[in-house]
Amino acid sequence: MKPSAVSGRWQTARMVFQRFAFAALVVAAFALMLLGKADTILVERARTLVVDAMAPVIRALSQPAGAISEIAENVRDLANLRAENARLREDNEQLLRWRDMARRLEAENAELQGLTDYVPLPDSRSFTIRVMGDTGGAFAHGVLIAAGSQANVRKGMAALSGDGLVGRVAQVGHRASRVVLITDITSRVPVVIENTRTRAILAGNNTEKPRLIYVPAGARVSPGDRVVTSGHAGAFPPGIPVGVVSSVDDTVIRVQPFMDRDRLEIVRLVDYGLSGILGSLDEESRAAQAEALKAAREKGKAQRLKDSQQPNADGTPQPQTPADAAEP
């Protein structure tokens, strides 16, 4: 047979196969479906054999793809590691600069303290107490704590949370005490604006945002300024965080406290050893009060004596009262 005749037949068969390939595949698919319905066990065995036979081929084909994916993942990790390493180097350099600055400030502070005969605050004594309940309402803001005089709690101790100043101990019982919050209408806390050192008084008003009063005229106060205790009046030591300025109007400056009354579950009572406004009066104050009381009594006695010497309308002298007669 000539080669030309063989090639002609091959081309004819290929054309017929290409023309009827789709129809043949459809017929084969229907035949397999009918066979699967007729004999499911046979089809399942055939499928298992095909899968077992193709598994090594699929595994061999998937290995390059897995290797490429792993290489790409390693390249991404390497790029991330380089970026993270650069960031850590920058953070380390910044921390080293802060360390050097802190050392210089520490040395300068020690030198200044030596020049000014600085006396540090006394060591504080603190303990953590659980809040038993909220005694506040529309007219008062306070909480009850589960500790009293039995646990060495005393009136005037500072109550702190993890965020800042909460208030002060106002009443002490044997096993429980009451803490007045800084938002209570009776609360007055000497504070200072941290960045400008402007002094003021934080006055509670039974709202969530107390006011700043007695702010000097022309003082620069802006929303976002931190407010801390000033240490004046001996009520609290300086530097305890209180809150941030939330709004500044023409006449009212409001502060958003750091402490959250609704989430107040545990407080830390701190005894700084300060007598403050709750301490007993010293001898000079008592002497001044005694002098003022004596002067008031002398003035009242003189006025009553003058009134007693004036005659009545009929010309008769006024009778002396028992109080006037009893006074020496």
Over residues 266-288, the pLDDT tens digits come to: 899 988 876 555 444 344 445 55
Bigger pLDDT: 115 or 199?
Answer: 199
pLDDT over 70 at 83, yes or no? yes
Bigger pLDDT: 101 or 274?
Answer: 101
Dihedral in degrees, nearest 10, Cα atoms 7, 9, 11, 13: -150
DSSP state, 207?
A: S
Q: How many other C-beta atoms are found inside a 10 Å radius of the C-beta of residue 244? A: 15
The string over 190-216, giving b where at least 16 C-beta atoms fall within 10 Å of a residue's C-beta and e elsewhere, is bbbbeeeebbbbbbbbbeebbbbeebe
Residue 150 vs residues 109, 126, 205, 266: alpha-carbon distances, Å: 40, 15, 32, 19
Measured N-to-C along each axis, helices 3-38 and 40-116 cross at an angle, to the nearest 10 degrees, of: 80
| Pairing state between β 188-193 and 199-203 | antiparallel
Residue 117's pLDDT band (cuts 50, 70, 90): low
Q: What rounded mean pLDDT belongs to the chain?
A: 79
Give the type of residue at 142. Answer: G
Q: pTM, whole model, 2 decimals?
A: 0.51
Helices (H) and strands (E) in the chain, counts: 4, 12
Q: Whole-angstrom Cα distance, residue 243 to residue 259?
A: 8
Q: Whole-angstrom Cα distance, residue 194 to residue 228?
A: 6
**CA 216, 218, 221 angle in degrees (round to 5)?**
80
Give the type of residue at 218. Answer: G
pLDDT over 50 at 324, yes or no? no
Which two tokens mark 46? Answer: 């055939």
Q: Of 21-25, 103-107, 197-201, 256-260, give the lowest mean pLDDT range.
A: 21-25
Task: Render pLDDT for 131-189 as a digit per residue (tens, 0 to 9).
Answer: 988 876 767 899 999 899 888 898 889 999 888 899 999 999 998 999 999 999 999 99
- DSSP letters along 112-144, please? HHHHHT--PPPPPEEEEEEEEEE---SS--EEE
Taken in order of first residue, the domains within the chain and their CATH numbers are: 11-120 (no CATH), 125-277 (2.40.10.340)
